[in-house]
């Protein structure tokens, strides 16, 4: 649900940015409404991010990887939660219209803060790595037991490396297609 909310916010931010750009970097009511919806989605996404890390903490406690009395703030998860939460709040808030004028090679152009932040918001697609981390064979219970014997815990990086070894053409094709869509 958090991934869905994050993606909807990303799409709404891009629609708002296109409306803003087509109106010569001047905002209308629809821009402020869409920005307000994106702001609300950030609030809901942060709730789900907190719940995710709270569940991760409980899982670590149940696997006896950390002490039972460890709180979120004292755990190693807090810094990850804080960075992810701050990154999730990056968006253009309602009623904030800032333009940057530049001139390069004799061409004058205006870019808005809205355009910059919309590009940075693409980083929210990291959430799919987290989904990959939870729903893959390489991070399942059997993999956890085998990796624990070898002295590490499986995560999304481990799963991607395993898929690259065993299904390299599929992973490379998907990565290429995804990067073409993302950067195109």
Residue with tokens 């070894």: 165
Q: Is the Cα dihedral 8, 10, 16, 18 positive or negative?
A: negative
Whether the CB-CB separation of 86 and 121 falls below 8 Å is answered with no
Whether the CB-CB separation of 139 and 156 falls below 8 Å is answered with yes
Read off the pTM.
0.74
Segment 152-165, tens digit of pLDDT: 878 778 888 888 88
Q: In sequence order, what are the beta bridge partners of 110? A: 101
- For residues 57 and 17, give the distance between their C-alpha atoms in angstroms, rounded to a whole number: 37
What does 54-66 look like in DSSP terms, one character per residue?
A: HHHHHHHHHTTSS
Q: How many residues does the chain have?
A: 184
Structure tokens at 85: 């939460």
Segment 12-43, tens digit of pLDDT: 998 998 898 888 888 889 989 999 999 999 99
pLDDT above 70 coverage of the chain, percent: 100
Fill in the DSSP letter of residue 125: G
User: How much of the chain is helix, strand and coil, in % rounded to 5?
Assistant: 70, 5, 25
Whether the CB-CB separation of 139 and 131 falls below 8 Å is answered with no
């Amino acid at each position: 649900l958090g991934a869905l909310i994050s993606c909807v916010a990303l799409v709404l931010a891009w629609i708002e940015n296109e409306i803003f750009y087509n109106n010569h970097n001047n905002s209308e009511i629809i821009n402020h409404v869409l920005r307000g919806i994106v702001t609300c989605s950030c609030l809901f996404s942060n709730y789900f991010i907190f719940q995710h890390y709270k569940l991760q903490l409980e899982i670590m406690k149940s696997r006896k990887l950390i002490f039972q009395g460890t709180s979120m703030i004292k755990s190693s998860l807090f810094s990850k939660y804080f960075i992810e939460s701050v990154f999730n709040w990056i968006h253009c808030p309602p009623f904030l219209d800032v333009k940057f004028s530049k001139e390069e090679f004799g061409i004058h152009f205006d870019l808005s803060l809205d355009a910059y932040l919309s590009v940075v918001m693409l980083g929210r697609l990291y959430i799919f790595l987290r989904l990959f981390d939870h729903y893959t064979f390489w991070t399942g219970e059997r993999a956890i037991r085998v990796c624990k014997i070898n002295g590490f815990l499986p995560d999304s990086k481990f799963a991607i490396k395993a898929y690259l070894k065993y299904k390299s053409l599929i992973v490379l094709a998907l990565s290429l297609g995804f990067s073409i869509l993302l950067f195109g």
